[in-house]
């Protein structure tokens, strides 16, 4: 197959959780630029509507929906509306996430639970709901947002053990689901970003800018287009023989 065709997403349908801002928005734009129709969902529907309106300018169809990934009924509703609107679901990007900073000995259970339920349980619930549809289709791409923080422990200044644990769980979940659903022609992979300036990371980056940059061989933080290629690759036919993989996009930080 022609290489351009391998990366072409024309007519494909992608659901992106947390797709209205930050890394989710960047990946949504990348997929739309390659022709994919988008279903953007997040807790704040108005943000999704604004992003959907802007991304329509790329010539694709968009659907903006409200969804809290901790709520199974809302997840099922998004999947049902996406299937009803487009008749197919080709790609799921489990991007919605949260973090909570506190020393381990002071971390409150409700804060730990919120992070785990959003980042890990939400990834499971959305994958399960979309997966049922993809199993019937006999094809699909699931992309989970991990993090380099989930690949190893972090220094004492990073007091966010729930976030690190949840992202480590996402990596294990990705590998295991890839083994389970390969028989259905569903590829399940993860992206592990390093430091990208976003609403969630901006305070940490500002406090530690020089120290972080010293540990990144490329000498810079991720840009507003550095995740696009990774997302398009894992969403397209170019990655049909890639599953259970964690694609690290960190400027060499973990090297």
Q: In whole angstroms, give the CA distance from residue 180 to residue 131.
A: 11
Q: 165 — phi, psi (to 5°)?
A: -65, -40
Both tokens of 113, joined, read: 């639970």
DSSP string across 103-121: -GGG--HHHHHHHHIIIII
173 to each of 60, 137, 156, 242, how far by Cα in Å?
A: 31, 22, 26, 16
Q: What is the CA radius of gyration of the chain?
A: 17
Q: Burial level of 45, CB count in 10 A (0-12/13-18/19+)?
A: middle
The residues annotated as belonging to the active site are 163
With b for 16 or more beta-carbon neighbours within 10 A and e for fewer, the 212-240 pattern comes to: beeebeeeebbeeebbbebbbbbbbbbbe
Cα(90)–Cα(11) distance, integer angstroms: 9
Length of the chain: 255
The three-state secondary structure class of 19 is: coil
Joined tokens for residue 45: 């529907």
Whether residue 135 contacts residue 184, with contact meaning beta carbons closer than 8 Å, is answered with yes
């Amino acid at each position: 197959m022609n290489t351009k065709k391998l990366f072409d997403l024309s007519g494909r349908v992608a659901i992106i959780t947390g797709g209205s801002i930050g890394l989710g928005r960047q990946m949504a734009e990348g997929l739309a630029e390659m022709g994919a129709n988008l279903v953007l969902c997040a807790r704040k529907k108005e943000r999704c509507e604004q992003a959907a309106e802007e991304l329509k300018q790329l010539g694709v169809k968009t659907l903006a929906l409200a969804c809290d990934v901790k709520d199974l009924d809302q997840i099922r509703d998004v999947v049902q509306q996406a299937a009803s609107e487009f008749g197919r679901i080709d790609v799921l990007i489990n991007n919605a996430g949260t973090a909570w900073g506190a020393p381990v000995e002071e971390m409150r259970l409700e804060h730990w639970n919120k992070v785990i339920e959003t980042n890990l349980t939400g990834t499971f619930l959305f994958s399960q709901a979309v997966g049922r549809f993809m199993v019937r289709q006999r094809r699909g791409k699931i992309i989970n947002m991990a993090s380099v923080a989930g690949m190893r422990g972090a220094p004492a200044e990073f007091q966010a053990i729930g976030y690190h644990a949840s992202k480590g769980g996402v990596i294990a979940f990705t590998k295991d689901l890839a083994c389970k659903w390969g028989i259905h022609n569903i590829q399940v992979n993860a992206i592990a970003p390093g430091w990208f300036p976003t609403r969630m990371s901006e305070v940490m980056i500002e406090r530690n800018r020089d120290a972080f940059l010293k540990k990144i061989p490329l000498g810079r933080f991720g840009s507003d287009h550095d995740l696009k290629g990774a997302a398009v690759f894992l969403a397209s036919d170019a990655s049909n023989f890639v599953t259970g993989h964690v694609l690290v996009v960190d400027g060499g930080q973990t090297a």
